[in-house]
Structure 1
């Protein structure tokens, strides 16, 4: 079996609101580049990657994988990820690995989870991922902690989720701390609480807010300050587990993070950590150093969500509910539409490969949406209501 062709398409799916974060705004839609690898036996493997329009970048790698056996992932990885530094893009390789695993599973008639060691759970729990919103359903913007607590209660009721995470670094830190206090009061002592300012807070601010949150017994404080040194400083100062999807977010930084004592929990990410197999490698290192593991969300559509589900299902110690932007999407590009939440969890697909199939009508529709609305990553996640605003790390 050989890879004989590659197709790449960019699609955009509307959201039910504009989602704010500390570097800007997802402006009412998310966009992904969809990869299809075609074999000489007619099997098509699906992959997906974010970060804006990646079609050109993937097509530059096409000559390196045409003619390759999709089972020979180590060689494909060497040719597309580690060959020369300026093509060393883990996100691109991860999409290719995802598609190759999809091909392998389809050929063998087995789900991807079986290729990764076998599932130890049939479904994966997810959180209520809370973003401060512009133009929320029903109108208006989120402006106060009560708005976020209301959203958390709504998601707990409609999705059945049993934990939340606030995407912080947007409003004043005290107001964001108050969100968690309200959620604890409203949802009780067993509901999981998390907060993630994505490193924008200074060490003094993160320490002060961490001390305020200590009585809430939150699950973790994610990237409270910038870099390995910032996280390590906050970890020494507060009695809350420190999590990260930023430092480390690649194997080069994992050793220094362990030596510095910068992290308690690593949020695995299929794209940052070199595909599903890379996440398995990361989990083994975390097991060695007694670090917790959780699953990060990269604003995925159904293809990558399926890969996340298959991967998380094979990691016994992944006891934290995963992140997902998924509940903000209004549709999906896979047949059957959005995967359903049941008691706060999404079932691991059971079909061969990733277990999902592209809906070509929806692909064509959301390709047109992308053509009309464009690549907002090229606009640096501008804030439509504050056109002159820009992020300042450590400014709070």
Structure 2
């Protein structure tokens, strides 16, 4: 079997609100680049990647993989990821690996999870991912802790989720701490609580807020301050697990993070950690050093979500519910529409490969929508209601 060609398309799907974070605003839609890898035997593999319009970048990599056997992933990885440092991009390689594993599963008639060692759970739980919202359903913006606590209660009821995470670093840190305090009060002692200011807080602020939240027994404090040194300083000062999807977010930084004592839990991400197989390698390192593992969301659509679920289902120690922006999307590009939550979890797809298929009518519709709205990464996640605002690390 040989790879004969690729096709790349950009699509955007509306959300039910605008999501604020400490580097700007997702402007009412999410966007992804969809990859198809074609083979001489007629089997097509699907991949997906974020980070803006990646069509040109993937097209430049096509000559490196055309003619390759999609089962020879080590060689493909060397040619795509290890060849020239200024073209090295784990996100792009991950989309290619995802598509090649999809091909392998289809050829073998087995789900992708079987290629990674087999599922140890048949469904993967997810959280209520909370953002401060503009233009929320029903109108208005989130302005106070009660707004987010109300949203958390709503998601707990409608999706059945049993944990939340607040994307912090947007409002006053004390008001963001109050979100978790209200959720603990309303949802009880067993509801999982997490907070993630994405490193924007100073060590002093992160320490103060962390110590305030200690009595809540939160699951973890994610990227409380900037960099390995910042996380390590906060970890020494608070009595709660420190998690990260920023430092480290690649294998080069994993050793230094362990030596510095910067982290207790690493959030896996298919794109940061070099594909599903890379996530399995990361899990093995975390197991060796007694680090916890959780799952990061990159604002994925159904193709990547399927890959995340397959991968997470094969990691026994991944006991934390996964992150997902998915409940903010109004639709998906896969046949059958958006995956369904049941008791806060989404079942592992059972079909061959990823177990999902593109809906070509939806693809055409959301390609046209993308052409209308454009690549928001080119606008640096501008805040439309604060046009002169810019992120400042450590200013709080």
**Residue equivalent to 1:352:** 352
Shift of 1:57: 0.3
**Residue equivalent to 1:92:** 92
Distance in structure 1 (CA, Å) of the matches to 2:388 and 2:47: 36
Does residue 37 (structure 1) correspond to residue 41 (structure 2)? The answer is no
Deviations 1:292-318 (A, max 9, x none): 000000000000000000000000000
**Residue equivalent to 1:234:** 234
The residue matched to 2:335 in structure 1 has which SS? coil
Query: Please, what TM-score do these two structures have when normalized by structure 1?
Result: 1.00
Does residue 275 (structure 1) correspond to residue 280 (structure 2)? The answer is no
What are the within-5 Å matches in structure 2 for residues 312-331 of structure 1? 312-331=312-331
Shift of 1:333: 0.1
Distance in structure 2 (CA, Å) of the matches to 1:177 and 1:332: 33
Shift of 1:378: 0.5
Distance in structure 1 (CA, Å) of the matches to 2:268 and 2:87: 22
Query: Please, what TM-score do these two structures have when normalized by structure 2?
Result: 1.00
The residue matched to 1:339 in structure 2 has which SS? coil
Q: Which runs of 4+ in 1 moved over 2 A?
A: none
Deviations 1:327-383 (A, max 9, x none): 000000000000000000000000000000000000000000000000000000000
What are the within-5 Å matches in structure 2 for residues 37-76 of structure 1? 37-76=37-76
Distance in structure 1 (CA, Å) of the matches to 2:319 and 2:345: 13
**Residue equivalent to 2:303:** 303
The residue matched to 1:34 in structure 2 has which SS? strand
The residue matched to 2:191 in structure 1 has which SS? coil
Ranges in structure 1 where 5+ consecutive residues have no aligned partner: none
Shift of 1:391: 0.1
What are the within-5 Å matches in structure 2 for residues 1-396 of structure 1? 1-396=1-396
Distance in structure 2 (CA, Å) of the matches to 1:119 and 1:322: 16
Shift of 1:188: 0.2
The residue matched to 1:7 in structure 2 has which SS? strand
Shift of 1:180: 0.1
Distance in structure 1 (CA, Å) of the matches to 2:69 and 2:378: 35
The residue matched to 1:32 in structure 2 has which SS? strand
Deviations 1:31-85 (A, max 9, x none): 0000000000010000000000000000000000000000000000000011011
RMSD between aligned alpha carbons?
Answer: 0.2
Shift of 1:87: 0.9
Ranges in structure 2 where 5+ consecutive residues have no aligned partner: none
Shift of 1:213: 0.1
The residue matched to 2:263 in structure 1 has which SS? coil
The residue matched to 2:106 in structure 1 has which SS? helix
The residue matched to 2:361 in structure 1 has which SS? helix
Distance in structure 2 (CA, Å) of the matches to 1:172 and 1:230: 20
Distance in structure 2 (CA, Å) of the matches to 1:288 and 1:326: 32
Shift of 1:187: 0.1
The residue matched to 1:9 in structure 2 has which SS? strand
Distance in structure 1 (CA, Å) of the matches to 2:5 and 2:36: 8
Distance in structure 1 (CA, Å) of the matches to 2:296 and 2:235: 20
Shift of 1:274: 0.1
Shift of 1:251: 0.1
Shift of 1:153: 0.1
